[in-house]
Amino acid sequence: MTETGQPLVRVIDAHKTYALGHRSVEALRGVSLDIAAGGFVVLQGPSGSGKTTLLNLIGCIDSPTSGKVFLGGTDTSELGDDALSAFRAKRLGFVFQNFNLIPVLTALENIEYPLLLQRVGRAEARARAGAMLEAVGLGGMGRQRPGELSGGQCQRVAIGRALVGNPALVVADEPTANLDAATGRAVIDLMHRMRDRTGTTFVISTHDPAVAAMAELRVELRDGTVAREP
């Protein structure tokens, strides 16, 4: 819960419909969900179940066709494009299955980049990025570019980039999909440790049962609805 006793994330009766040619597809059908601050939550389900759509709503990447999504008490569906972009930059971090690192930047520069976008002074940004690089276990590798790093190392950089701005929430879409089983476990272990260290809430979508087993709360989606929330 937040300091006000409210959940960090509250999804209320969310529907999401996409137009595909002459027909529409309802990706989410009345999903409601609360996520407490500091939680480590996995959204699981088969392809087409709606887990990525729900993750995108929670991460303010998309908005519901109807229903509400609150983050820290803010009704994100009421924010205009510019306000939503600023809100996302300040309150959220993102981790993707393909890492989405900037190939011409070093590991240190990739972590530093979101701070520069937020107009943090260069000296402070460099110091914070260096500390985060150490925190994710890549101290001494700051000059390496993504093409010189393994998949697991790239995902560690991506986690550092997501966390360096001290977000309230990190959303991760299939963060282990392009990693072998052992490296994937190590990445999820790192996310757990960083959650314990920073207090940041993590919400992860996955189809991997091994990743789901490492969550504190597992939310299973089927056909656009919550099938099970232990």
Residue 3 placed within a domain:
no
Distance, in Å, from the CA atom of 89 to the CA atom of 79, rounded to the nearest integer, reads 14
Q: Calculate ∠ Cα 214-220-223, nearest 5°.
A: 150
Please check whether residue 54 lies inside any domain of the structure: yes
Helices (H), the chain: 51-58, 81-91, 107-117, 122-135, 151-163, 181-198, 209-212
Indicate the pLDDT class of residue 227, thresholds 50, 70 and 90: confident
How do residues 78-131 score in pLDDT, each as one tens digit?
888 899 999 998 999 999 999 999 999 999 999 999 999 999 999 999 999 999
Nearest to 57 by CA among 15, 93, 25, 18: 15
Residue-wise pLDDT for 159-201, tens only, equals 999 999 999 999 999 999 999 999 999 999 999 999 999 999 9
pLDDT at 5: 62
> Is a pLDDT exceeding 70 seen at residue 156?
yes
Work out the pLDDT band at 2, boundaries 50, 70, 90: low
Average predicted confidence (pLDDT) for the chain: 92
Q: Which residue has the tokens 């609805």?
A: 225
Residues 6+ apart with CB under 8 A from 223: 29, 48, 49, 50
User: How many angstroms separate the CA atoms of 203 and 213, rounded?
Assistant: 14
Q: DSSP letter string over 104-125?
A: TS-HHHHHHHHHHHTT--HHHH
Residue range 44-70: mean pLDDT, rounded? 93
Question: How many domains, the chain?
Answer: 1
Q: Is the separation of the CB atoms in 185 and 210 below 8 Å?
A: yes
Confidence at residue 20, expressed as pLDDT on a 0 to 100 scale: 81
Which domain covers residue 13, as residue numbers? 9-228
Which residues touch 108 (CB under 8 Å, ≥6 apart)?
126, 129, 130, 133, 142, 143
What is the pLDDT at residue 22? Answer: 82
- With vertex at residue 46, the alpha carbon angle to CA 187 and CA 185, rounded to the nearest 5 degrees, is 15
Percent of the chain with pLDDT strictly greater than 90: 82
1 belongs to a structural domain: no
Mean pLDDT of 199-220: 92
**Residue 2 falls within a domain, yes or no?**
no
Q: Has residue 122 been placed in a domain?
A: yes
| CATH number for the domain harbouring residue 135 | 3.40.50.300
Across 84-94, b (16+ Cβ under 10 Å) vs e yields beebbeebbbb
